[in-house]
């Protein structure tokens, strides 16, 4: 991943809210969403602006689901990388409010991989 001098800062109301936001932003849901709404720059870089982040929508989560996201954010911070196991845990919570969450998650991952390949990025299966 390459990052230039343009950064977006997220301000949260609590440490737990910050962790939840961190987990949500590392979900396949967010990655796919941003692949769709953000601009592709030369060389295949994805230009994600603050306005794109503000457009992210999520379903409503229960207190237990939010707590799990906070725990998974702690794990992400501890290992400093997203393992497939941790990605699966986060993604499962993100789609949990839907009756057909597993099906939705499969479709999200297919679309995310397609979008990554279209812009020349590394897909999750590489």
**Per-residue pLDDT, 122:** 62
pTM attached to this predicted model: 0.85
Residue 43 is classified by DSSP as G
Say what angle helices 15-25 and 63-79 make with each other, to 10 degrees. 80
**Per-residue pLDDT, 94:** 98
How far apart CA 47 and CA 97 sit, in angstroms, is 30
Provide mean pLDDT across the span 83-109: 97
Start-end of H helices in 3-100:
15-25, 28-37, 50-55, 63-79, 84-94
**Using one digit for the tens of pLDDT, what is the confidence trace for 60-72?**
999 999 999 999 9
């Amino acid at each position: 991943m390459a990052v230039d001098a343009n950064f977006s800062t997220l301000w949260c109301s609590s440490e737990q809210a910050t962790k939840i936001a961190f987990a949500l932003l590392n979900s396949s849901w967010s990655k796919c969403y941003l692949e769709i709404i953000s601009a592709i720059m030369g060389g295949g870089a994805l230009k994600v602006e603050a306005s794109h982040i503000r457009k992210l929508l999520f379903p409503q989560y229960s207190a237990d689901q939010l707590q799990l996201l906070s725990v998974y954010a702690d794990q992400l911070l501890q290992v400093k990388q997203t393992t497939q196991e941790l990605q699966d845990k986060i993604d499962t919570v993100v789609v949990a409010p839907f009756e057909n969450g597993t099906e939705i998650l499969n479709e999200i991952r297919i679309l995310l991989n397609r979008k990554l390949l279209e812009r020349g990025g590394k897909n999750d299966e590489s």
